[in-house]
Structure 1
């Protein structure tokens, strides 16, 4: 197994450990908004952080098996995982870090899913690509996921009066402020997408023989 496949496999393993530990921690936490196990675990997988890490796990496991995957679907999922986890890392470390006092397994999972996963995923993409996989079409399809997540989160929140993140909490902030926050995050997502596109083209040119 070459270096890039090892990197992809290691990243997938780190994320898998983080997700498993988080599921165990969540299953043991009977306090809070969801006292029953089933709804509590369903709620866990409604978090953008968890979904982005699942995408990172899935795409990196597939890349470890075969780094050259030309399908538009896979490239879209790969970009969603990359951008989703990058946004997760940026938003967590600038807005959300320190809001909860964690320890033990919760702190360990928090580090793996919010810090290690974004760093490994972004560094792995910069170092190993695959190059040439990002196109305007792929970017167009990739925005479906975050927009769908925002719509689902706001509809679900209105029904059960629960929002997973403070910046989408309509009860506290109102729809106007939440709409602005969503626009900022969407702009960040698109800026990262087109930044990744241009950087990918630059890296591709630099690696071509003169």
Structure 2
């Protein structure tokens, strides 16, 4: 229905604006520079590299791409897009869960940082999940998409350990090899991966059962073919 498409575009458009505003605020604060826990202000390049090393930032960037494209075309499809969309939804759910259960107690943002934190960790995760449940599009998840979606979190874990070994900086306390040792840090990362796999399985199952979709094909689906057949 056209009405459903309008609501879907509005929902995803609002999410895109929230995520974009949060990213702009956080990037501006990072470029401006603030002393770290040791009272030292790191060089601008170091601050920017560290900012984009956070899983939170990467998942929100993926979510911005997905929500912006869905605001333009709620029936969007395509092999690469399916992978990005699944990574965005999974990544942002994990971001919200890990922050709420592990990181929130040690975080005390203020000023503009409070607003970006609100967008990243409280609004974006659950707004994105609600949008996925309400509007889809579906079906967009199949076995091939699941396998390809694993590459980004695995690459992030490898990068995090490699970057930490070179700089002695880790984005999150539960990844800090210096304090925890490799055994505990790897165990923590493994636990996060298990959570991701469980949520991926849940989303896959829901994607196949919720109304408003079509069977997810295993072969690539040209975007142009889908765009000729708008969905509700």
Quickly name the TM-score band, shorter chain normalised: over 0.9
Alignment match, 1:172: 179
Give me the whole-angstrom Cα distance separating, in 1, the residues matched to 2:19 and 2:118: 10
Residue of structure 2 in register with 1:31 after alignment: 35
TM-score by length of 1: 0.94
Superposition pairs for residues 58-97 of structure 1, below 5 Å?
A: 58-97=65-104
Which residue is 1:8 aligned to? 12
Distance in 1, Cα, partners of 2:34 & 2:203: 41
User: 2:128 maps to which residue?
Assistant: 121
- Which one has a larger percent helix, Structure 1 or Structure 2? 1
Give the conservation status (yes or no) of the 8 Å contact 1:132–1:204. Answer: no
CA RMSD between the two structures: 1.7
> How many angstroms apart in 1 are the aligned matches of 2:110 and 2:125?
21
Q: Is the 8 A contact 1:139 1:193 kept in 2?
A: yes
For residues 77-111 of structure 1, give each alpha carbon's deviation from its aligned partner in whole angstroms, at most 9, with x where no partner exists: 00000000000000000000021322110111111
Distance 2:149 2:23 in 1: 23
Select the structure of larger CA radius of gyration: 2
Q: How far apart are residue 43 of structure 1 and its match?
A: 1.1
Q: CA deviation at 1:29?
A: 2.8
Task: After TM superposition, give the deviation of residue 205 of structure 1 in Å.
Answer: 7.5
Higher relative contact order (CA 8 A, sep 6+): 2
Q: What SS does structure 1 have at the residue aligned with 2:106?
A: coil
Contact persistence 1:53–1:85 (CA under 8 A):
yes
**Mapped contact 1:9–1:60 kept (Cα < 8 A):** yes
TM-score by length of 2: 0.86
Distance in 2, matches of 1:4 and 1:204, equals: 15
Tell me, in whole angstroms, the C-alpha distance in 2 between the residues paired with 1:124 and 1:156.
34
Residue 6 of structure 1: CA displacement? 0.9
| Aligned CA distance change for structure 1 residues 204 and 135 (closer, same or farther; 3 Å) | farther
Shift, 1:69, TM fit: 2.4
